[in-house]
């Protein structure tokens, strides 16, 4: 009888230990991934906005991106939003690009149009454009906040 009790306890502690190890190992894999805001594209004819994010996976494990949500900000104003639930697989020691189609914000478009008209009136030729993507990525079931600035 004591032998059976000891075996149950050993099995229970082993299972809990394995679950903890798996969770923390997955969290470390996810933390080692690297996100970059590559570019964005305004397609005025089809009234679409695209954001291109790159994800580098330096680990030896395949990583799965389950969802991406966020906002594209231009000079601090939300221009568009995205919620994508398309699964993306990032191969080990590889880099992948994710293309996201965003939904434009009417207020954001009007604000940006007003800014462009003001720049034309002031005849400023060189104006710095500050583009940011702020949101979250669900990778391997773990939500990762992202705050990426377009690097020119």
User: For the segment 31-89, what is each residue's pLDDT rounded down to a tens digit?
Assistant: 667 788 888 887 767 777 888 888 888 878 888 889 999 988 877 778 788 888 989 88
pLDDT-derived band at 25, boundaries 50, 70, 90:
low
Instruction: State how far the Cα of 136 lies from the Cα of 86, in Å rounded to an integer.
Output: 14
Averaged pLDDT, 129-135: 84
* Closest of 36, 31, 49 to residue 150, by C-alpha: 36
At residue 26, does pLDDT exceed 70? no
At residue 30, does pLDDT exceed 60? no
Mean pLDDT of the chain: 76
Averaged pLDDT, 123-135: 73
**Residue 67's pLDDT is what?**
92
**Residue 107's pLDDT is what?**
63
* Closest of 5, 29, 131, 7 to residue 77, by C-alpha: 131
Residue 152, CA distances (Å) to 5, 38, 116 in order: 64, 9, 20
pLDDT-derived band at 120, boundaries 50, 70, 90:
low
């Amino acid at each position: 009888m004591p032998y059976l009790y000891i075996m149950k306890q050993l099995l229970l502690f082993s299972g809990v230990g394995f679950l903890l190890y798996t969770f923390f190992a997955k969290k470390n894999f996810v933390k080692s991934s690297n996100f970059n805001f590559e570019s964005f594209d305004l397609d005025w004819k089809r009234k679409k906005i695209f954001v291109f994010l790159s994800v580098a996976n330096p680990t030896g494990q395949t990583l799965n991106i389950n969802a991406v949500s966020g906002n594209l900000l231009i000079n601090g104003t939300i221009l568009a939003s995205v919620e994508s639930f398309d699964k993306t697989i990032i191969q080990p020691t590889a880099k992948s690009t994710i293309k996201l189609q965003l939904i434009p914000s009417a207020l954001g478009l009007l604000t940006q149009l007003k800014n462009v008209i003001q720049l034309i009136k002031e005849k400023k030729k060189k104006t710095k454009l500050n583009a940011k993507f702020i949101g979250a990525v669900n990778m391997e079931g773990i939500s990762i906040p992202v705050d990426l600035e377009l690097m020119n």
